[in-house]
Amino acid sequence: MKSKHALLLDDGTFIFQDREVPEPGPGQVVVQVAACGICGTDLNAFIGKKPKGWKIVFPFQMGHELSGIVRAVGPGVPDEEGLRVGDRVVPDGRLPCGYCRYCRRGHENLCLNQGYIAGGFAQYAVYPYRNLLRVPDGVDLVEAALAEPLACCINGNNKLVDVPLGGVALVLGAGPIGLMHLQLLKSRGLKTIAADLKEIRREAARAIGADYVIKAELAQQVDPGLVEQVKEITGGLGADVVVSAAGLDPSVLEEALQMAARQGQVLYFAATLSDPVTLNLDVIHYRELRLVGSHDSTRADYEKALAILGSGGVKAGPIISHRYPLDQIYDAFRFANTRTGLKVVIVNEGF
């Protein structure tokens, strides 16, 4: 049986390779890929920006936001795992070492020897059984591909402490990541504000239940300024929680401090992949602000993400704006890079 794989070349184009689907080895499972989302890090590789920590060797296999169906189970998979052909699963592509300082503390997202499997932009992929999590009944299999970015958002949300019930949360950037953060924060009893440049994303924020939606402009074009709009909504106090989910504009990082209330928390979620950014430490000092970073997720976050999708606490369907077949992956990446839609997903035939 053959499997088609889409591989990125160093000029930003793709080639397709047909490979034999291997028999699963000890402890391995063959997954037929249903869908795979295009992540921001995938886009950066596509346009020639090397994401931090990525070892890119061309032709380059990408795709880590995927879902699929178990098609073969190798020897050595414990019976208690109960993985069976036909099970709907989400693979976690991380391969933590399990023995470094951070793995031993349960923070495998910070593993010092992290490996990865990125098999999503293909028809079939092989994963260790330990990396598979079942998709709950009732969750659409294509939408389940968003469990990976949702798990990352959950990891970030878990970094927030003493979140005031009835407080105000501001999410800067209402793309797919921002829309997930909005839903998570709203479920924690916070009044939510979404800010974005693009109308399609502001409309999506309204549709998923943001309490306030404001138009963000470039810093030199703000009138009234984004900071002033947030202050007006919050009675001059600012937001108790600010999430930066807009990685393309480093100026937002400084503005996030200005929009935070005293003793507020600022979660810097999105990477900028830019030059160092200068922040005003006096603002942090005098307002007693708490700055938090988050990176990636753990398998426990994956389990929480699937549970939340299953309960309807986060709705993934409205976040997926465009679906492309695998053989149109180049067009899908070109469109995703315009950032005029929301989540772009590659969906294999039959799903």
Q: What's the domain count of the chain? A: 2
pLDDT of residue 248: 60
Q: E strands of the chain, at which residues?
A: 2-8, 14-20, 28-37, 60-61, 65-73, 88-91, 94-95, 115-116, 124-128, 132-134, 168-172, 191-196, 212-215, 239-244, 260-268, 290-293, 320-324, 343-347
Give the gyration radius of the chain's Cα atoms.
Answer: 21
Closest by alpha carbon to 37, among 323, 345, 329, 305? Answer: 345
Kindly state whether residues 168 and 289 are assigned to the same domain.
Answer: yes
- Domain endpoint, select from 256, 273, 293: 293
pLDDT of residue 107: 95
Look at residue 37 and tell me if it is in a domain.
yes
Kindly state whether residues 53 and 129 are assigned to the same domain.
Answer: yes
Look at residue 276 and tell me if it is in a domain.
yes
Reported residue count of the chain is 351
Structure tokens at 80: 């208690």
Structure tokens at 248: 């393309």
Identify the three-state secondary structure at position 324: strand
Identify the three-state secondary structure at position 47: coil
pLDDT of residue 101: 97
pLDDT of residue 222: 43
**With contact defined as beta carbons under 8 Å apart, do 240 and 164 qualify?**
yes
Kindly state whether residues 301 and 280 are assigned to the same domain.
Answer: no
Kindly state whether residues 135 and 8 are assigned to the same domain.
Answer: yes
- Domain endpoint, select from 293, 308, 333: 293
Going residue by residue through the chain, which has 351 residues, state the pLDDT in tens, using 9 for 90 and above. 899 999 999 999 999 999 999 899 999 999 999 999 999 999 999 998 876 667 788 999 999 999 999 999 999 988 766 789 999 999 999 999 999 999 999 999 999 999 999 999 999 999 999 999 999 999 999 999 999 999 999 999 999 999 999 999 999 999 999 999 999 999 999 999 999 999 999 999 999 999 999 998 755 444 468 899 999 999 999 999 999 998 766 777 888 999 999 999 999 998 877 778 888 899 999 999 999 999 999 999 999 999 999 999 999 999 999 999 999 999 999 999 999 999 999 999 999
- Domain endpoint, select from 269, 293, 317: 293
H/E stretch holding 338 reads helix 329-338
- Cβ neighbors of 51 (< 8 A, separation 6 or more) are 41, 44, 45, 271, 273
- Write the single-letter amino acid at 317: G
Tabulate helix, strand, coil % of the chain (nearest 5): 30, 25, 40
Look at residue 244 and tell me if it is in a domain.
yes
Kindly state whether residues 272 and 306 are assigned to the same domain.
Answer: no
Residue-range definition of the domain harbouring residue 227: 160-293
